[in-house]
Structure 1
Amino acid sequence: MTESANKLGTEKISKLLIKQAGPATIGILVMSLNMIVDTIFVGQWIGVLAIAAITVVLPIAFLISSIGMGIGIGGSSIISRSLGAGNSSKAFLTFGNQVFLTVILAITFVIIGNFFSVPILNLFGAKGDILPIASEYFKVIIYGVPFLAFAMMGNPVIRAEGKPKFAMYAMMVPAVLNVVLDIIFIKFFNWGMWGAGLATSFSYMSCGLYILYFFLSSKSELKIIPKNFKLDAKIVREIVELGGVSVVRQGAISVLMIVLNYSLFKYGGEISISVYGVINRVMMFAYSPVMGVSQGFLPVAGYNIGAKKNDRVKETIKKSVLFGTLLGTIIFIGILIFKVEIIRIFTDDVTLLENTPNAMLIVFLATPIVTMQLVGSAYFQASGKSLPALFLTLLKQGVFLIPLAYILPKYYGVTGVWWSFPIADIFSTLITVIVLKREVDKNLK
């Protein structure tokens, strides 16, 4: 279709991965600041309970916006393979279906979220003094979620076009805006949680509008064409099968948050939820390079699978795992050395500073091996095999982490919650290695 897309099938794999994963990593890193900045500012300027409130609310927003992410990843897999096979018309039709599905579904779920806000917040752990603060925050950011959903749909599509830098810019815009608006709304206007929510909502809007601008401009080969909004049953089914993996993953994360917040509140009270709030923000930022590798892997693997270049696909798997493992090791060493300094960025609260460092170290113990999980499920998404992709996606959160986070605290208290993370990572990685090796030996000879 274009020179940018065609390079995915000819350029050196290591160069392609760096070219794709680099901007994806930077974009994810900067996008993570949307959540991290909120946590830092509310922790420093509003209080510890505000951190707990954000910890409860953001998984709800991301569950709704994950609809866009699922449609984006599922559709981008089809687009990458279509471009690799030289079928541009299918790529265009797929994109049109993605746009229509995202807009309709995101708005529908936002309406539902508005009508049932209190029951939903209660379900996700907004207990005691956390509820009124969480409610104030949620009722503002919910209006920015459709824009976030559209952005999360468009981002993997831009990478599928072979233009990762534009995908990176789309994720940088809202992070910068969020920092500026947080300072203005919280520090100077003293608008509290409402101001933090307004800043986040505006940042989501800016991200969605930037993505829309890209697809309307001459920079994009994939255009928003109304006639392509007409849903094609076969394409929609494939988008749902492949993208459903990402939605189910976020759904599993949301169920995990319900279980975690239940266990943390029961065995450690509000302060334990705040401790996890800090750890969770650090995880979002620290795992960005590893997630960037898996995001960079998708278009490269998808294009070469479509072009039936098996040697390049195998090389992409090996080098992605190697790069990600190296990055994961560096991340863990950084956490080990600077854990206290990292926590001080978020808060000076004595109780949090006492309880968070050791908990964070335990949670990050298996970081060097998490890339294997991400690349394993990404390979099956890229190849259009939804069932094994779904299975591998659910391994960590659904099969291991949720049960462990519920059972271990019964015997070890809050410490059991922290140990559930590395245990789940180890078992998930071992199973992923077995499944992926069998697939490669069978179909990539």
Structure 2
Amino acid sequence: MDKQKELILEGKLPKVMWHLAWPAVVAMVLYGLNNFLDGIFVGHLISNTALAAVGIAYPLAQFAQGFGTLIGTGIGSAISIWIGRKDTVKLEQSMGTVNYLTLLFSIVLTLPCYVFAEELVYMMGGRGEILTLGVEYFRATILGSFFWIHGLALNMIIRAEGRMKTAAWMIAIGLLVDLGLKPIFIDTLGWGVAGAAWATNISMMIYTLLGVWYYASGKASFRTKFWSLQRKTAIIKETLSLGMPGFIMMVMIVIQNIVVFNALAKYGNEADITFFTAVNRFYILLNTPLWGLMRALQPVTGMNYGAKQYMRSIQAYRLFSLVGLAILLPFWLFVMVYPSGVLAVMIPHTEFLAHQLFDFRIYMSVLLVLPFVFMAMVWFPAIEDAKPATIISLLRQVVFYIPIMLLVPGIMGISSIYWASAAIDWIIFALILYAVSKSVTKLKLKNTSSR
């Protein structure tokens, strides 16, 4: 038995968690820093208007991440289960399917988004100079969509094998390239917001090539035909089924941002857009350790579920959720106590108003329950029960978020965006606890019947 697989299936869970989680957390924090650093470089080297433009355009670029997540989470969850079941046939066919889906989604995404970039950024709430700069940033970003999709998918699959350290150093190399190129492209060469996008595209290309090298050179823990395009209907269906919750979350985040930025443009001003961009980027940055824990939880849950060790799958969810809470707690305390100092990192030379700092604290208040929500979103597909994650994702955005954000800001002002978001996430937390408890009961029954 492969040592990594043996550890996941037989090792003590705290040891398994530590072995897999710390490189995964580091990897995802590094990945999340890309988005955060865009804000810092653009805000400091160009202007607050440019920061607002990037803030409006960036959610559109997340469609590429959404497709990468769909492939990576879907195939990744399936691969973890197939490794547990020793299904060598599907493992061998998996990479050809990844290549096929990446090529398909890249073409479907890139062409229409580039042609209709101005209309899309306008739809996000971009007007005037914000619209002009937003289109420039988005068009440059979308040209790199193939590398965003393929790089993210391959890295997520590497993590699904349990090779967290390998995935982490690949992300670290990409980030270092991004860090080196951003100031050169933005300031030295004078490319402005497009320079920020091209720096990221090049870093994602290198990130993708490292993933290609890993699988093409036979370093994976399973045999696969990497240099192939395979349209295996059964694998595609399983991929889409298991990856759909993550994809829906990404798409809904884009729709959520469309609604929020339009409300900010309609009822607020440029300063409000800039402020929300900064707040949201800090919020996303603080979420990145949870993304790492999610990726580490996926192979632990999937392999143990595939091996019919259902109780270990349950215990893994609980352990990873509590560790996520422990990681976030000190950072949460810091941003709650020193909000103005935190925000000044991205919006320099600004005196923040009391109501803005209050809005920031309200928005951040929900952070401590997110570990339980995020872990559930990857745990459900890993136990072949993606339906609760899909339903809750749709409930959050379609039933709660979009209607509330369309109505409330016009009645109660811009501040309602922050407290309504927090209130919705508290409701989602309650729904997640209910859904998890039902799935735990089912797994316990399966565990009893399998003895």
> TM-score normalised to the size of structure 2?
0.94
Q: CA deviation at 1:325?
A: 2.0
Cα distance in 1, alignment partners of residues 374 and 384 from structure 2: 16
Deviation sequence 1:71-116 (CA, Å, 0-9, x none): 1101111111111011122122123212221122123311121121
Q: CA deviation at 1:28?
A: 1.2
User: Taking structure 1 as reference, are residues 201 and 355 closer, same or farther at Cα in structure 2, changes over 3 Å only?
Assistant: farther
Q: CA deviation at 1:223?
A: 5.8
Counterpart residue number, 1:18: 18
- The one-letter code sitting in structure 1 at the alignment partner of 2:350 is V
Q: Percent identity?
A: 25
Deviation sequence 1:334-361 (CA, Å, 0-9, x none): 2112322221211224266777533221
Cα distance in 1, alignment partners of residues 166 and 392 from structure 2: 30
- The one-letter code sitting in structure 1 at the alignment partner of 2:195 is G
Cα distance in 2, alignment partners of residues 228 and 389 from structure 1: 32
Q: What is the Cα-based RMSD across aligned positions, in Å?
A: 1.9
Deviation sequence 1:303-342 (CA, Å, 0-9, x none): 0000000121121011112112222322311211232222
Counterpart residue number, 1:139: 139
**1:130-169 to 2 correspondence within 5 Å?**
130-169=130-169
Q: Tell me, yes or no, if the aligned pair for 1:215 and 1:222 is still in contact at 8 Å.
A: no
Cα distance in 2, alignment partners of residues 368 and 416 from structure 1: 21
- 188-197 vs 431-440, which deviates more? 188-197
Q: CA deviation at 1:227?
A: 7.7
Q: Tell me, yes or no, if the aligned pair for 1:96 and 1:229 is still in contact at 8 Å.
A: yes
**1:15-414 to 2 correspondence within 5 Å?**
15-222=15-222, 225=225, 229-350=229-350, 356-414=356-414
User: Taking structure 1 as reference, are residues 315 and 263 closer, same or farther at Cα in structure 2, changes over 3 Å only?
Assistant: same
User: Taking structure 1 as reference, are residues 11 and 345 closer, same or farther at Cα in structure 2, changes over 3 Å only?
Assistant: same
Counterpart residue number, 1:425: 425
- 191-200 vs 220-229, which deviates more? 220-229
Cα distance in 1, alignment partners of residues 42 and 58 from structure 2: 14
Cα distance in 2, alignment partners of residues 144 and 187 from structure 1: 21
The runs of 5 or more residues in structure 2 that have no matched partner are 446-451
> TM-score normalised to the size of structure 1?
0.95
Secondary structure of 2:280's counterpart equals helix
- The one-letter code sitting in structure 2 at the alignment partner of 1:46 is I
Cα distance in 2, alignment partners of residues 323 and 188 from structure 1: 43
Cα distance in 2, alignment partners of residues 127 and 444 from structure 1: 55
Q: CA deviation at 1:224?
A: 5.7
Pairing 1:437–2:437 present: yes
Deviation sequence 1:181-235 (CA, Å, 0-9, x none): 1111223223222222221221221221221122123432346626863222111
Q: Tell me, yes or no, if the aligned pair for 2:160 and 2:296 is still in contact at 8 Å.
A: no
Cα distance in 2, alignment partners of residues 349 and 50 from structure 1: 16
Q: Tell me, yes or no, if the aligned pair for 1:343 and 1:356 is still in contact at 8 Å.
A: no
Cα distance in 1, alignment partners of residues 198 and 155 from structure 2: 23
Cα distance in 2, alignment partners of residues 278 and 227 from structure 1: 42
- 18-27 vs 386-395, which deviates more? 386-395
- The one-letter code sitting in structure 2 at the alignment partner of 1:188 is T
Cα distance in 2, alignment partners of residues 301 and 426 from structure 1: 25
- 157-166 vs 13-22, which deviates more? 13-22
Cα distance in 2, alignment partners of residues 394 and 102 from structure 1: 25
Counterpart residue number, 1:4: 4
- The one-letter code sitting in structure 1 at the alignment partner of 2:165 is K
Q: Tell me, yes or no, if the aligned pair for 1:173 and 1:207 is still in contact at 8 Å.
A: yes
Deviation sequence 1:242-299 (CA, Å, 0-9, x none): 1122111111001000000011111212221111111121112111112222221111
- The one-letter code sitting in structure 2 at the alignment partner of 1:48 is N
Q: Tell me, yes or no, if the aligned pair for 1:376 and 1:392 is still in contact at 8 Å.
A: no
- 227-236 vs 53-62, which deviates more? 227-236
Q: CA deviation at 1:236?
A: 0.8
Secondary structure of 1:170's counterpart equals helix
User: Taking structure 1 as reference, are residues 239 and 218 closer, same or farther at Cα in structure 2, changes over 3 Å only?
Assistant: closer
Paired positions, count: 445
Cα distance in 1, alignment partners of residues 146 and 354 from structure 2: 39
Deviation sequence 1:135-160 (CA, Å, 0-9, x none): 11122121222101111111221012
Secondary structure of 1:229's counterpart equals coil
